[in-house]
Structure 1
Amino acid sequence: MTFVRLGGVAHHVVVDGAGPVCVLAAGLGMSWFDWDPVVPLLAPHRTVVRFDRPGHGLSQPAAVPPTAAGEAHRIAALLDALGLDRAPATVVGHSIAGFHAEAFARLHPTRTAALVLLDSSVEERPPRLPRLLRRTAPQLARALGATLSAAGVPAALGPAARALSVRGSSRRRPDPSPPELVRRVYRTSRVLRGTLDENARYGAVAAELLVLRERAPLPPGLPVTVLAAPDGSARWERRQRALARRLGARYEAAEPSGHLVMLDRPDAVARAVLRVEG
């Protein structure tokens, strides 16, 4: 466990194993320890890098609002800081981090060995908010976070909210994460604010990725896997299959599994990564 300063922000990073590099990027509001079930399956074969985005896990709050390009460059800067820049990396993006992982592959093609989108967010037509709301949404999110934090909501309800989220997104009962780490992370106002901030920018990041798809093609022959968790939703499966077709990717369904595939089916995640030769 270490901290790397990028853009003036201390990022919490955990590196395990040895071999070709694999970066695990978690979804909205999630932390490094959510990948714990996957790491033992990968570490004998890969150098596994887990990190907390600003305002997540143990990382400091963000200095600037998130963007698709900014998150892609964050991954590149993190690998540089760790001295893991000599060979391309496999990047795994879960949920909203699927946007970030795909952006990395498009903006840093020579540094990408493979791309795994793990029940990734999909926005074929990101919602177009009124211009005023687009401009003010981040400020409103930060104001809400400050108000809730001042009222002591994270300290009182943070771990319980985390437990409800996992219960609704996973087949694991109860949350398998260490309770002491859950309390350490989710009782903080930092994580509440970071989650609200990313959520407020969700539509803008999705729209930015659509533009990147037109301007920055994926490297020819890049191995791409869309590993989805339909969990009985035909509509979600159609959208995930459509994403795979658009990216020329291999489609797989992790079943049975909820949205938190890394908790429910770590074996499927590991297979998707290890299928790519290092």
Structure 2
Amino acid sequence: MSDSPRIPGRLVRLAGSATHVVVEPGPAGVPPVVLSSGLGGAWYDWDRVVPLIAGLAPVLRFDRPGLGWSEPAALPPTLAGEADRIRALLTTPGVLAPDAPPAGPAVVVGHSLAGFHVEAFARLFPELTAGVVLVDASAEPEAAGPEPETAAQRRLAQWRTVGELAGRTGLAGLAMPRLRALAIRLSRNGGSDLADPADVAATAASGRLLTSALLENATYDALAAQLLELRCEKPFPQEPPLRVIAAFGSTPAVRALPFAAGRVSQRNESWLARQRQLAELSERGRLIELADSAHYVPFDRPDAVAETVRELLASLD
């Protein structure tokens, strides 16, 4: 009997690397919905959302390089590279099904860090953007410029070494599922995680997931700065509808802290202001406020994500 892990979906070559894609079929003639996970995330982060939108449209989930079952990239992530990855997902034949034509213009949904990627995609490829949903997206209106190249290269090399060592020693397979569970517990307000533990453990075992998550974290500020530059060069398209979901519910862990109420209130006001600015990128933008969800909206309020996608699709008719 083979010990090879079960891999849902398929591996397709996008932007030069083997990319893991999971597709839920949907009716023809409806724009597909692309779901892009937050920092270090994988296809299973959307397991609570997908059943709620299945059948409305084709649904595409994909893993960025080194995450889930996708092949690692030789170079660290860049904003343009991640936007182009979404473009390739929609313009490469055989993604929706082995013999299918390209998926074409899509409603693109990005959570957290993926908000950077999705906004950049909309600015760079408006002809492929049917709609945009930003789910508690990262927002850094005053991002600092990138650190000196030599320092950045040294830091990225250090994180890559850490991840590779953790994979060779087996530490990644032991630690990553626990670290993921801890991160989710600290960033949700009671919502459950439906990811199959076997999938989480299998994707973590090689160390690729840890390495790629560390690289995404290490390049976060650089991508934020790249987005500010892109905003000066490319306008946000005004034709596609834009929906911004802003979560400002606190987690049980935060509520247990002394004097948390005042700090949480200040943080929420600042966060909502940033999310409101995102909604104002388009005349067709709308802000959806969730007082009962923490940052992991796909876990806390998958119904809100699904309803937003459903409403946006209906607005395209």
TM range (shorter): over 0.9
* Aligned residue in 2 for 1:270: 306
Query: How far 1:173 moved relative to its partner?
Result: 6.1
Structure 1 counterpart SS, 2:67 = coil
What is the aligned counterpart of 2:221 among 170, 189, 203?
A: 203
Per the alignment, do residues 86 and 62 of structure 1 end up closer, same or farther by CA in structure 2, a change over 3 Å counting?
closer
Larger radius of gyration: 2
Deviating above 6 A after TM superposition, structure 1's stretches of 4 or more consecutive aligned residues are none
Structure 2 counterpart SS, 1:236 = helix
Structure 2 counterpart SS, 1:15 = strand
Q: 1:162, 1:186 within 8 Å by CA — same for their partners in 2? A: no
* Aligned residue in 1 for 2:41: 30
Gaps of 5+ in 2: 1-8, 251-267
* Aligned residue in 2 for 1:17: 25
Percent identity of equivalent pairs:
44
* 1:133 pairs with 2:133: no
Query: How far 1:259 moved relative to its partner?
Result: 1.1
What is the aligned counterpart of 2:249 among 228, 231, 236?
A: 231
What is the aligned counterpart of 1:49 among 55, 60, 73?
A: 60
Q: Provide the alpha-carbon RMSD of the alignment.
A: 1.9
* Aligned residue in 2 for 1:59: 70
* Aligned residue in 2 for 1:241: 276
Q: 1:158, 1:188 within 8 Å by CA — same for their partners in 2? A: no
With the length of structure 1 as denominator, give the TM-score of the two structures.
0.93
* Aligned residue in 2 for 1:253: 289
**Bigger shift: residues 228-237 or 105-114:** 228-237
Question: How many residue pairs were aligned?
Answer: 278
Structure 2 counterpart SS, 1:256 = coil
* Aligned residue in 1 for 2:182: 164
Q: Which amino acid aligns with 1:255?
A: A
Alignment of 1:85-124 (within 5 A): 85=102, 87-124=104-141
Q: Which amino acid aligns with 1:38?
A: V
**Bigger shift: residues 25-34 or 180-189:** 180-189
Once residues 84 and 47 of structure 1 are traced to their aligned partners in structure 2, the CA distance between those partners, rounded to angstroms, is: 13
Once residues 197 and 210 of structure 2 are traced to their aligned partners in structure 1, the CA distance between those partners, rounded to angstroms, is: 18
Query: How far 1:130 moved relative to its partner?
Result: 4.0
Per the alignment, do residues 85 and 256 of structure 1 end up closer, same or farther by CA in structure 2, a change over 3 Å counting?
same
Query: How far 1:65 moved relative to its partner?
Result: 1.7
With the length of structure 2 as denominator, give the TM-score of the two structures.
0.82
* 1:4 pairs with 2:50: no
Query: How far 1:157 moved relative to its partner?
Result: 1.3
